[in-house]
Amino acid sequence: MAKKNWSEIIRNNIVTIMFIVLCAVCMVFSGYTPAYVMYELFGRLSRNLFIVLALIIPIVAGMGINFAITIGAMAAQIACILVLEWGVQGFGGFALAAALTVPMAAVFGFGIGKILNMMKGQEMIGGMILGYFANGLYQLLCLFIFDNIIPINNPNLTIKGSSGIANTMDLVKGGIAGTLENLWKLSASQAALVFAAVIAVVLLLSHLRSHRKNNKALAVNLVALAAFAGVMQLPFMVELFSMVKIPMVTFGIVAVLCLFNVVLMRTRLGQQFRAVGQNRTVANAAGINVDKIRIIAITISTVLAGWGQLIFVQNMGAFQTYGAADQVGLYAGAAILVGGASVVRATNTQAIIGTILFHLMFILAPAAGKNLFGDAAIGEYFRVFMCYGVIALALVMHAWSSVAKKKAPKASDK
């Protein structure tokens, strides 16, 4: 195994490193206590992680960041509105909304996949524009079709004195707010024990079934898990997480999605995703139906994004009918890139690290801006600027490294 030199490691992870440094600086200047930051962070993680993880499969299948997940989010919002209209409350309402999201998001995903197959190589910009276009249809649905053609009987949902769906959907009163979160909450130290135990069991199981028994790696992992669980019980850690209540079910679902991403890649279908992602020509020559595989990838991603949006809105307790979905693709895309993913390669770890860093930035930047410049707007400006900047930087880095790769073998020839 060749030694990787430092400059290469830094170059490959420049975005992540930059974000870690920025977060550290903002942490110092924000004046927040670590306990408060942790409280904020875990709140945000519980509502945002899922949708970021939904981006992984299309990236593996070579379609880049699926900015069309906004359309999945719209499906989820339509499901929410219907559930509110029917007055199904509590966890049952959430489950119904989740079930309704699936057929809608799947149909949308299929359509998106069909369109993206016509514009291979431009999937990202295509997905983004599709998102804008779908927003127009969504507005037509909510402003005109609902309440005018399809009657809406719940007076809280419609615009007072006019027709159409109101601007804000309140999920607290008679809705599904917090239904997932409140099922089972634990303190951070207890949650660490539970998760460590579950992960240990999964590791052991996969070790038993693996074709290559790597005992050393297993031992290292188990020891690390035990150490993690142990450290979480120490007083200063308990202090750090004193404000955090971990919603076990939400994080449990996130963990299941991570596992799904891993296990799926070990199936025949996952192998086809990876093959198509690496080289469509070769995959096609091997008899793989490239277009079909790409449609499946986008469809799965769109459905997952719909669920992600449901988790998000039930956590928030309300959503902006006409604005909540707009930025979903952009923020999720930026988050996964911050974690060191590229438009051709992404893992669960990168998605998680990216979400943590990206949201740390969201928490800290306004406060730091306020303390440094006396104006929270500067911090606010800064984080929006960072969001677009990260995407642009990641695209440039990708173009740059593929040019560098192309040149590298030539240099070694001589």
Partner 1 sequence: MAAEYILEMKNITKRYGENTVLSNVSLKVRPGEIHALLGENGAGKSTLMNVLFGMPVIHATGGFDGEVLIDGQSTHIASPHDAMLKGIGMVHQEFMLLPGFTITENIKLNREISKNNVVSRVLGENLETLDMKTMAGDARRALDSVGMSIDEYTKVNGLPVGYMQFVEIAREIDKTGVKLLVFDEPTAVLTESEAAQLLQVMKNIAATGIAIIFITHRLDEVVEAADGVTILRDGKFVCETRTADTDVTKLAGLMIGRAGETAFVTADPREFAADAPVALHVEHLAVDMPGEMVKDVSFDVHEGEIFGIGGLAGQGKVGIPNGIMGVYDAEGKVELFGQQVKLNDAHGALKSGMAMVSEDRRGVGLLLGESIEDNIVFNAMQVNGDFTKSFLGAKLKDSRAIREHADNMIKELDIRCFGAVQHTGTLSGGNQQKVCIARALTMNPKLIFVSEPTRGIDIGAKKLVLETLVKLNREKGMTVVMVSSELMELRSICDRIAIVAEGEVVEILPVNSSDADFGLAMSGIKPGTQNGKEA
3-state secondary structure 117-164: HHCCCCHHHHHHHHHHHHHHHHHHHHHHHHHHHECCCCHHHECCCCCC
Residues 188-227 as x/- pattern, contact with partner 1 by CB under 8 A:
-----------------------xx---------------
Residues 337-376 as x/- pattern, contact with partner 1 by CB under 8 A:
----------------------------------------
Q: Long-range contact list for 383-388, CB < 8 A, 24+ apart?
A: 386/22, 386/334, 386/361, 387/330, 387/331, 387/334, 387/358, 388/330, 388/334
For residue 120, the minimal CB distance to partner 1 (Å) is: 17
Applying CB under 8 A, does 404 fall inside the site for partner 1? Answer: no
| Helix (H) or strand (E) run with residue 318 in it | strand 318-320
The site for partner 1, by CB under 8 A, has a size of 22
Applying CB under 8 A, does 3 fall inside the site for partner 1? Answer: no
Applying CB under 8 A, does 287 fall inside the site for partner 1? Answer: yes
**Short-list 66, 74, 58, CA closest to 125:** 66
Residue 246: DSSP 8-state: E
* Among 93-101, 158-166, 275-283, 384-392, the segment contacting partner 1 (CB under 8 A): 275-283
Residues 310-339 as x/- pattern, contact with partner 1 by CB under 8 A:
------------------------------
Applying CB under 8 A, does 106 fall inside the site for partner 1? Answer: no
Residues 227-266 that bind partner 1 (CB under 8 A): 263-264, 266
Q: Which is nearer to partner 1, 160 or 209 (CB)?
A: 209
Residue 212: DSSP 8-state: S
CA distances for 57 relative to 188, 281, 299, 350, 355, angstroms: 30, 19, 10, 13, 17
Q: Which is nearer to partner 1, 211 or 216 (CB)?
A: 211
Find the binder of partner 1 among 91, 274, 381, 397 (CB under 8 A). Answer: 274
For residue 55, the minimal CB distance to partner 1 (Å) is: 19
Applying CB under 8 A, does 5 fall inside the site for partner 1? Answer: no
Applying CB under 8 A, does 412 fall inside the site for partner 1? Answer: no
What whole-number distance in Å separates Cα of residue 51 and Cα of residue 90? 22
What whole-number distance in Å separates Cα of residue 167 and Cα of residue 320? 6
**Short-list 184, 188, 185, CA closest to 233:** 188
What whole-number distance in Å separates Cα of residue 312 and Cα of residue 355? 14
For residue 286, the minimal CB distance to partner 1 (Å) is: 4
What whole-number distance in Å separates Cα of residue 90 and Cα of residue 43? 20
Residues at the contact surface with partner 1, assessed by CB under 8 A? 211-212, 263-264, 266-269, 271-272, 274-275, 278-279, 281-283, 285-288, 410
